[in-house]
């Protein structure tokens, strides 16, 4: 009995020992690595158009603000907001009494100047006759020289008085014209055909107007047949915009329709460049530049409507593209730094992609927005701290290869690849965490559905 | 002269079996549990019979947690499970980015190691106490035998040594296979073990060491209560099956995994 007990103990402990030793040895020597579930896509050629999105307002191309040049009370306002007017139509009548009185006063002054001129001319005539008569006497030595000089002086004075009177007449005449002009300005007519888009003043209100200053803004007349979208772009995007580029416009009031437009004007200075804030180095507001886009279609737009514009800036035809999610940034390896631009899967740059706008320079706004959003330039000159570079993970059997790439333009879904990949390569396009954090060169991967999704039968996709 | 009759030697007295030391009991429970528990039934109570196995189980549990949650493959599985749970259901929609960040921090490897270790340590002692109570209760209620709670605790404690070995084997398997469900059970046959699937949890419950420890507990109960083994085994196995089913169907089991 004791022997069988002893035998049993030996057998059991031997089995336990063998199992533990075997598992321990396998666990110690065999390295396990995590297999990352990913999704893939192929590098394909497609046409890609870069777009810049901006928000703004619809405004008329031509818009005139009506300000009076004379002050007074509005006694006639025969128009209302929204009314169509033609060129020459009466818009506003200001009380003319003061200016009428002024005109009469000026008229009287003019008449007085005329009378003064007639008087001066009569005096001149008399002085001239006296001078001639006494000159004859002086020549026959019948008159003293002093008397002769006296008559001569009187003649000269009369001539000067006539000249002065003439100038006074002219001055009075100009005053009359000015008073007439002021009187005329009490009646304001429309300078253009359009629509009263804004009416600020009412009948009976007093308005202020001067020749030098702007004065009260009584109303605004707009030509609603020609409308444009005025949108604001940031300083990073404005460099991509040029007159002539096309745009797709979405107006909030017309949600089911898309309109087309053409860029007509690009601001050379920012919106706040003239304000104090612009000169302040501590200004917190973003710098914006205005772009004007002429709307091609005619629609019942109203000034001030909100609009979103998608401006097509650059395009590439038949370019190599990868999904935006597949491009991320990583720190370059030591050997890649030393290669100084040579790439792991380098391919001659694509020769059959056509660039739009003849723009083949390195893009200024091409940093990927997923993953670690950091500077996206390889700095050949830097010998200090390395900067992250754009990479794509290429599936190579069960593992991935990290390939540095050069990116061009992008649209909503794809990046253009200008260097580093060739058509047909299978690249990792998801999941987000895998691409942005987990994946490194040589990591083992398997193809599966994104996290949270299942395959057709409700089970995770087990395809390897 | 007749020789006096020879005095016959008295039959040899049975040599009392030497008492097992604690170490011997802890080791012999693997091979000869019947003898171990037979001696236990007649010997005075000793706290070391359940305390030492509980401590050993706690140590093994803590070490296992530290090793398992250090494996990249295991960390990845937990991350994927966390992502899945965050994206599913209305909870995800109501979570702000800040709350999601807090959840992610709470399931980071250091936190998992800490929680796993603490859970293993507490669970070890809890397991001994729980099964001590169950054995005592089964003896009194089903087998109608008075058994002291202390003895039942000792039986549960000594049987715990099977779990100690099972914990070591499970740790080595998980490290080798690289999967949380890689325990010495039917779950080893499940390619894509998912702790949220009840079928997978039932497969994990069919663990070699779990069945072994239930067998040993049955032997212990039978020796303590002085009843046939089959009767004790019926009671213990029935309770174990009901307990596992409840844990799995209620959803508590997936968090234990």
Q: State pLDDT tens for residues A419-440.
A: 999 999 999 998 888 898 888 8
In the stretch 31-50 of chain A, residues with CB closer than 8 A to chain B read: 32-37
Two tokens, residue A316: 């590439």
Which DSSP string do the residues of A236-272 spell out, in sequence order?
Answer: HHHTT--TT-EEEEEETT-TT--EEEEEEEE-SS-TT
Judge whether A201 and A136 are in contact, CB under 8 Å.
Answer: no
Averaged over B225-249, what is the pLDDT? 92
**pLDDT band at residue B205 under the 50/70/90 scheme:** confident
For A33, which residue in chain B has the nearest alpha carbon? B73
pLDDT tens-digit profile of A278-294?
555 555 678 899 999 99
Residue A460 or A82, more confident: A82
Task: Name the residue among B31, B83, B192 with its Cβ closest to that of A13.
Answer: B31
The distance of A27 to chain B (nearest Cα, Å) reads: 5
pLDDT (0 to 100) of residue B51: 94
> Phi and psi at residue A218, in whole multiples of 5°?
-75, -45
SS3 of B14, please? coil
A451–B87 C-beta distance less than 8 A: yes
pLDDT, position B228? 92
Chain A residue with CA closest to B170: the answer is A23
Does residue A19 belong to the interface with chain B, where contact is any CB pair within 8 Å?
A: yes
The helix or strand, by DSSP H or E, that contains position B121, with its residue range, turns out to be helix B109-141
Residues of chain B with C-beta less than 8 angstroms from the C-beta of A433: 79, 83
State the count of interchain CB pairs (< 8 A) between A and B: 69
B178, A33: Cβ pair inside 8 Å?
yes
Terminal CA-to-CA distance of chain B, rounded, Å?
Answer: 88
Q: Across the interface, which of A9, A16, A30 has its CB nearest the CB of B176?
A: A30
Burial B136-153 (b: 16+ CB within 10 A, else e): bebbeebbeeebeeebbb
Residues of B whose CB is below 8 A from A462:
191-192
pLDDT of residue B88: 65
Report the pLDDT value the prediction gives residue A30, as an integer from 0 to 100.
65
The predicted structure's pLDDT at residue B158: 94
Taking contacts as CB-CB distances below 8 angstroms, the residues of chain A near B173 are: 23
Is a pLDDT exceeding 60 seen at residue B90?
no
Among A41, A60, A134, A133, CA closest to A325: A41
d(C-alpha B65, C-alpha A100), whole Å: 103
Q: Which candidate in B78, B80, B209 is best for mutational testing of the A interface (most A CBs within 10 A)?
A: B80
**Residue A400 in contact with residue A445, Cβ under 8 Å?**
yes
Q: Are strands A219-222 and A63-66 parallel, antiparallel or unpaired?
A: antiparallel
The percent of residues in chain B predicted with pLDDT above 90, rounded, is 42
A18 shares contact with chain B (CB less than 8 Å) = no
CB contact under 8 A, B27 and A13: yes
Per-residue pLDDT tens digits for A332-368: 776 555 444 444 444 444 444 444 444 444 444 444 4
Residue A363: its pLDDT value, please? Answer: 41
- C-alpha B145/C-alpha B41 separation (Å) is 13
**8 Å CB contact of B83 and A451:** yes
Residue B135 Cα, gap to closest chain A Cα (Å): 26
**Contact criterion met (CB < 8 Å) for A23 and B169:** yes
Spatial contact of A243 and A263, defined as CB atoms under 8 Å apart: yes
Picking from B28, B168, B177, the nearest residue to A9 by CB comes out as B28
Of the candidates A8, A27, A460, which has its C-beta nearest B31's C-beta? A8
Give chain A positions within 8 Å (CB) of B182: none
Minimal CA separation from B234 to chain A, in Å: 25
Give contacts of B35 with chain A, Cβ < 8 Å.
5
Between A196-200, A271-275, B163-167, the lowest mean confidence (pLDDT) is in: A271-275
Q: Across-strand partners of A259?
A: A249
Distance from CA of B171 to the nearest CA of A (A): 9
Question: What pLDDT does residue B75 have?
Answer: 80
Tens-digit pLDDT profile for residues A131-189: 999 999 999 999 899 999 999 999 999 999 999 999 999 999 999 999 999 999 999 99
Residue bearing the bigger pLDDT, B256 or A184: A184
Query: Which residue from B121, B208, B131, B162 is spatially nearest to B26, judged by alpha carbons?
Result: B162
Asked if residue A222 lies in contact with residue A195, where contact means CB atoms within 8 angstroms, the answer is yes
Helices B48-68 and B22-31 meet at what angle, rounded to 10? 70
The chain-wide mean pLDDT, for chain B, equals 83
The alpha carbon of residue A451 is apart from the nearest alpha carbon of chain B, in Å, by 6
Task: Please give the share of chain A, as a percent, with pLDDT higher than 70.
Answer: 82
Chain A CB contacts of B192 under 8 Å are 459-460, 462
Residues B176, A451: C-beta atoms closer than 8 Å? no
- Residue contact B176–A5, C-beta within 8 A: no
Contact A433 B79 (CB under 8 A): yes
Q: Tell me the chain B residues in contact with residue A39 when contact means C-beta distances shorter than 8 Å.
A: none
Q: Is the pLDDT of residue B105 over 50?
A: yes
B176 pLDDT band (50/70/90 cuts)? Answer: confident
Residues of B contacting chain A (CB within 8 angstroms): 27-28, 30-32, 35, 71-73, 75-76, 79-80, 83-84, 87-88, 165, 168-169, 172-173, 175-178, 191-192, 194
> What integer pLDDT is reported at residue A454 of this predicted model?
47
From chain B, the residues in CB contact with A12 under 8 A are 30-31
Q: Mean pLDDT for chain A? A: 83
Q: Which residue of B has its CA nearest to A461?
A: B192
From chain A, pick out residues whose CB is under 8 angstroms from the CB of B73.
32-35
Tally of CB atoms within 10 A around A341: 12
Give one DSSP letter per residue of B84-101, joined into a string: HHHHSHHHHHH--HHHHH
Q: Does A433 touch chain B (CB under 8 A)?
A: yes
Chain B interface disruption, residue of A12, A17, A22, A23, most B CBs within 10 A? A23
Res A302 pLDDT > 50 = yes
pLDDT above 90 (res A129): yes
Structure tokens at A87: 């060129």
Per CB-CB distance under 8 Å, the chain B contacts of A24 are 172
- When mean pLDDT is compared over A3-7, A253-257, B152-156, the highest value belongs to B152-156
Of the pLDDT bands very low, low, confident and very high (cuts 50, 70, 90), residue A395 is: very high
Picking from A23, A32, A438, the nearest residue to B178 by CB comes out as A32
Nearest CA in chain B to A17: B165
Residue B91, pLDDT above cutoff 60: no
pLDDT confidence of B21, banded at 50, 70, 90?
confident
- Give yes or no for residue B110 having a pLDDT over 80: yes
Distance from CA of B137 to the nearest CA of A (A): 31
- Predicted TM-score (pTM) of the model is 0.53
pLDDT value of residue A64: 93
Nearest CA in chain B to A431: B80
The tokens for B195 are: 């702790």
Find, in chain B, the residue whose alpha carbon is nearest to that of A452: B84
**Average pLDDT estimate for A88-113:** 95
- 8 Å CB contact between A199 and A119: no
């Amino acid at each position: 009995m004791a022997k069988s007990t002893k035998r049993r103990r030996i057998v059991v402990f031997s089995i336990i020992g063998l199992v533990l030793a075997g598992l321990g040895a396998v666990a110690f020597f065999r390295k396990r690595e995590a297999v990352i579930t990913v999704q893939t896509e192929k590098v394909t050629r497609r046409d890609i158009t870069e777009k810049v999105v901006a928000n703004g307002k619809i405004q008329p191309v031509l818009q005139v603000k009506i300000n009076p040049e004379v002050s007074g009370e509005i006694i006639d306002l025969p128009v209302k907001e929204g009314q169509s007017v033609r060129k020459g139509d009466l818009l506003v009548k200001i009380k003319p009494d003061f200016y009428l009185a002024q005109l009469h006063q000026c008229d009287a002054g003019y008449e007085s100047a005329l009378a003064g001129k007639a008087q001066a001319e009569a005096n001149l005539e008399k002085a001239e006759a006296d001078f001639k008569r006494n000159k004859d006497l002086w020549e026959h030595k019948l008159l003293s020289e002093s008397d002769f000089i006296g008559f001569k002086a009187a003649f000269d004075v009369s001539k000067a008085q006539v000249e002065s009177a003439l100038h006074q007449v002219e001055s009075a005449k100009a005053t009359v014209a000015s008073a007439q002009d002021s009187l005329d300005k009490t009646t304001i007519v429309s300078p253009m055909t359009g629509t009263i888009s804004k009416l600020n003043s009412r009948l009976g209100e007093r308005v202020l107007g001067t020749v030098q200053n702007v004065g009260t803004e009584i109303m605004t007349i707009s030509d609603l047949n020609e409308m444009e979208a005025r949108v604001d772009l940031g300083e990073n995007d404005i460099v991509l915009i040029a007159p002539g580029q096309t745009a797709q416009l979405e107006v909030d009031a017309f949600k089911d329709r898309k309109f087309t437009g053409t860029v007509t004007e690009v601001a050379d200075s920012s919106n706040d460049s003239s304000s104090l804030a612009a000169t302040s180095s501590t200004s917190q507001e973003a710098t914006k530049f205005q772009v004007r886009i002429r709307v091609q279609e005619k629609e019942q737009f109203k000034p001030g409507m909100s609009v979103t514009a998608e401006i097509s800036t650059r395009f590439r035809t038949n370019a190599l593209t990868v999904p935006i999610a597949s491009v991320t940034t990583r720190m370059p390896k030591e050997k890649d730094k030393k290669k100084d631009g040579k790439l792991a899967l380098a391919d001659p740059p694509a020769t059959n992609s056509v660039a739009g706008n003849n723009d083949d320079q390195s893009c200024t706004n091409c940093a990927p927005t997923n993953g670690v959003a950091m500077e996206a330039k390889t700095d050949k000159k830097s010998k200090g701290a390395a900067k992250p570079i754009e990479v794509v993970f290429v599936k190579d059997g069960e593992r991935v290869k990290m390939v540095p790439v050069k990116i061009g333009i992008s649209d909503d879904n794809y990046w253009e690849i200008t260097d580093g990949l060739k058509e047909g390569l299978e690249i990792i396009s998801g999941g987000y965490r895998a691409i942005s954090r987990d994946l490194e060169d040589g990591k083992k991967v398997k193809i599966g559905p994104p996290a949270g999704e299942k395959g057709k039968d409700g089970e995770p996709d087990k395809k390897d | 002269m007749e020789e006096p009759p020879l005095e016959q030697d008295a039959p040899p007295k049975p040599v009392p079996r030497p008492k097992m030391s604690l170490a011997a009991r802890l080791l012999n429970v693997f091979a000869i549990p019947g003898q171990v528990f037979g001696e236990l039934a007649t010997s005075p109570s000793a706290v070391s019979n359940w305390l030492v196995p509980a401590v050993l189980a706690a140590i093994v549990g803590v070490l296992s947690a530290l090793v398992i949650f250090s494996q990249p493959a295991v960390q990845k599985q937990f991350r994927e499970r966390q992502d899945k749970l965050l994206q599913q259901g209305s909870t995800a929609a109501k979570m702000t980015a800040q709350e999601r960040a807090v959840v992610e921090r709470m399931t980071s490897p250091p936190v998992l190691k800490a929680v796993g270790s603490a859970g293993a340590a507490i669970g070890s002692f809890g397991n001994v106490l729980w099964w001590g109570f169950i054995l005592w209760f089964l003896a009194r209620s089903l087998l109608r035998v008075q058994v002291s709670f202390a003895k039942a605790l000792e039986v549960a404690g000594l049987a715990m040594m099977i779990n100690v070995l099972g914990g070591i084997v499970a740790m080595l398997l998980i490290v080798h296979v690289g999967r949380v469900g890689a325990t010495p059970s039917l779950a080893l046959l499940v390619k894509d073990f998912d702790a949220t699937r009840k079928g997978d949890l039932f497969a994990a419950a069919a663990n070699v060491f779990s069945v072994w420890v239930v067998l040993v507990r049955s032997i212990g109960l039978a020796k303590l209560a002085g009843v046939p083994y089959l009767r004790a085994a019926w009671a213990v196995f029935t309770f174990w099956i009901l307990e596992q089913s409840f844990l799995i169907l209620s959803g508590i089991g997936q968090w234990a995994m």
